[in-house]
């Protein structure tokens, strides 16, 4: 027999990464449109403005919204470059790989980084932020940057409590938040929660392809922007505001993504914000029942997040038992069962794998993923208590 390459897996890949996420069929169909001039009044009036207004409703803001043809990193950079000046001190509470990335970016842009150390397995205590700000009597800290949902660790931080901590310290720092993997998955209210700048992206809860990102900016942020001297051009809000009609984007607008956005917003509004959040919470709980079963008497895979009240409703990070490789489990799931899981990022590589449960998902999709993971644990020789998938099914049927 001649050597033949391994056959391509048949059937649909179960895509369980915590971003990018599954794109609904109707969004794919909506994007499938001929090119149009992005200044064409038909596009601007019927797609661009309604989509922009819808996105503001999802963010819970009536403030300014600026958009970029870039992934989430671009909007992160915009949040810093538009609000701060060289040497300004930014306080970044540690939550995991993504808070570290934002911090590295701040340093790279010439800001003075003050990192607030915290355990990645539970994230920062708001009291520690309050103490740090109270100690800063000269108000040298210009911004506090918090990742709402730390996608690398599966930890969600309580933003309203952090806002309360900033207020309790009577500190004027701007409050910047990354809502990239929480928006449209769990409650996020930019205005009601007193957030000055909210950073979001297209390819997670919004169920779109990668390629555009955005920042909401409060009135206080717009004031700070006028004084901010970090160099910028493509991401500059002032440059954007000179585009009278669009008030966003320097350069070409990703029109195809806007057709998709219009449809994803329609889906979200048809389901309703609260229902979308409840669906995410319920699907996540089934995953957690499964993992709690696998954990057994603590010799199986564990929740990476040690605080049950902070376990994320959009992603679960699973810590392997000592001596077992998370990458081996991911490889088996991918090669044998055509299931794509998230890997451990940065220092968590090999130690953690992640199941994304954000966006366009239902019970059977997650049960398929969990079933494949349970088989992969078996094949990789990872100790675990059987019956994880049963526990998830029991929960989903009891709450159907
Ligand atoms: C995905 C993600 C990012 C990075 O976004 P990109 O689109 O990959 O640049 C930043 N923060 C969080 C919390 C994320 O989940």
Predicted pLDDT at 397 = 98
Atom index in ligand 1 nearest the CA of residue 151 equals: 15
From 97, 98, 155, the mutation candidate for ligand 1 (largest count of ligand atoms within 8 A of CB) is: 98
Ligand 1 midpoint to CA 367 (Å): 26
Ligand 1 midpoint to CA 72 (Å): 5
Instruction: Split the chain (400 residues) into runs of 10 and give each run's mean pLDDT.
Output: 70 94 98 96 97 98 98 98 98 98 98 98 98 98 98 98 98 98 98 98 98 98 98 98 94 97 98 98 98 93 98 98 98 96 98 98 97 98 97 98
Ligand 1 midpoint to CA 350 (Å): 20
Ligand 1 midpoint to CA 138 (Å): 33
Ligand 1 midpoint to CA 181 (Å): 7
Predicted pLDDT at 4 = 74
Ligand 1 midpoint to CA 301 (Å): 25
From 19, 103, 348, the mutation candidate for ligand 1 (largest count of ligand atoms within 8 A of CB) is: 19
Strand partners, 143: 90, 174
User: What is the residue with the minimal CA distance to atom 2 of ligand 1?
Assistant: 180
Q: For 290-328, what is each residue's pLDDT tens digit? A: 999 999 988 999 999 999 999 999 999 999 999 999 999
Ligand 1 midpoint to CA 73 (Å): 6
Atom index in ligand 1 nearest the CA of residue 74 equals: 9
Predicted pLDDT at 10 = 82
For CA atoms 296, 299, 301, 303, give the dihedral sign: positive
Q: What angle do CA 56, 61, 63 make, to 5 degrees?
A: 100
Ligand 1 midpoint to CA 98 (Å): 7
From 68, 71, 72, the mutation candidate for ligand 1 (largest count of ligand atoms within 8 A of CB) is: 72
Atom index in ligand 1 nearest the CA of residue 150 equals: 13
User: What is the residue with the minimal CA distance to atom 4 of ligand 1?
Assistant: 72
Q: What residues are in contact with ligand 1 under a 6 Å CB criterion?
A: 19, 71-73, 98, 147, 149, 151, 178, 180-181, 201
Q: Are 177 and 144 in contact (CB under 8 A)?
A: no
User: What is the residue with the minimal CA distance to atom 12 of ligand 1?
Assistant: 180
Predicted pLDDT at 2 = 61
Ligand 1 midpoint to CA 314 (Å): 13
Atom index in ligand 1 nearest the CA of residue 181 equals: 15
User: What is the residue with the minimal CA distance to atom 6 of ligand 1?
Assistant: 72
Ligand 1 midpoint to CA 281 (Å): 21
Atom index in ligand 1 nearest the CA of residue 98 equals: 11
Ligand 1 midpoint to CA 268 (Å): 21
């Amino acid at each position: 027999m001649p050597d033949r390459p391994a056959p391509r897996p048949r059937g649909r890949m179960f895509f369980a990464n915590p971003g990018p996420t599954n794109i609904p069929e109707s969004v794919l169909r909506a994007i499938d449109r001929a090119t149009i001039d992005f200044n064409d009044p038909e596009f601007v009036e019927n797609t661009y403005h309604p989509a922009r207004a819808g996105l503001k409703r999802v963010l819970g803001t009536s403030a300014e919204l600026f958009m970029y043809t870039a992934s989430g990193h671009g909007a992160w950079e915009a949040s810093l470059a538009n609000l701060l000046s060289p040497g300004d001190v930014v306080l970044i509470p540690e939550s995991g790989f993504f808070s570290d990335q934002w911090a590295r970016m701040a340093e790279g842009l010439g800001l003075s980084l003050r990192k607030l150390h915290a355990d990645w397995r539970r994230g920062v205590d708001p009291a520690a932020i309050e103490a740090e700000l109270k100690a800063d009597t000269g108000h040298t800290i210009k911004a506090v940057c918090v990742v709402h949902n730390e996608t690398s660790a599966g930890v969600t931080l309580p933003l309203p409590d952090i806002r309360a901590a900033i207020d309790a310290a009577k500190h004027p720092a701007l409050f910047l938040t990354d809502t990239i993997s929480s928006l449209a998955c769990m409650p996020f209210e930019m205005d009601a929660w007193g957030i000055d700048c909210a950073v979001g992206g297209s390819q997670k809860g919004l169920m779109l392809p990668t390629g555009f990102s955005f920042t909401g900016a409060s009135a206080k942020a717009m004031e700070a922007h006028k004084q901010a001297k970090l160099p910028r051009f493509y991401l500059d809000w002032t440059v954007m505001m000179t585009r009278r009609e669009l008030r966003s984007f320097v350069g070409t607008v990703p029109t195809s993504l806007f057709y998709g956005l219009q449809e994803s917003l329609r889906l979200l509004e048809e389901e309703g914000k609260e229902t979308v959040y409840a669906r995410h919470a319920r699907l996540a709980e089934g995953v957690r029942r499964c993992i709690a079963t696998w954990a057994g008497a603590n010799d199986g895979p564990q929740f990476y997040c040690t605080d049950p009240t902070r376990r994320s409703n959009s992603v679960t990070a699973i810590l392997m038992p000592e001596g077992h490789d998370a990458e081996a489990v991911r490889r088996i799931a991918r090669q044998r069962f055509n299931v794509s899981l998230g890997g451990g990022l940065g220092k968590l590589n090999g130690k953690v794998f992640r199941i994304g449960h954000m966006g366009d998902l239902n019970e059977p999709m997650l049960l398929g993923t969990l079933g494949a993971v349970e088989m992969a644990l078996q094949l990789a020789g990872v100790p675990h208590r059987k019956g994880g998938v049963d526990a998830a099914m029991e929960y989903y049927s009891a709450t159907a």
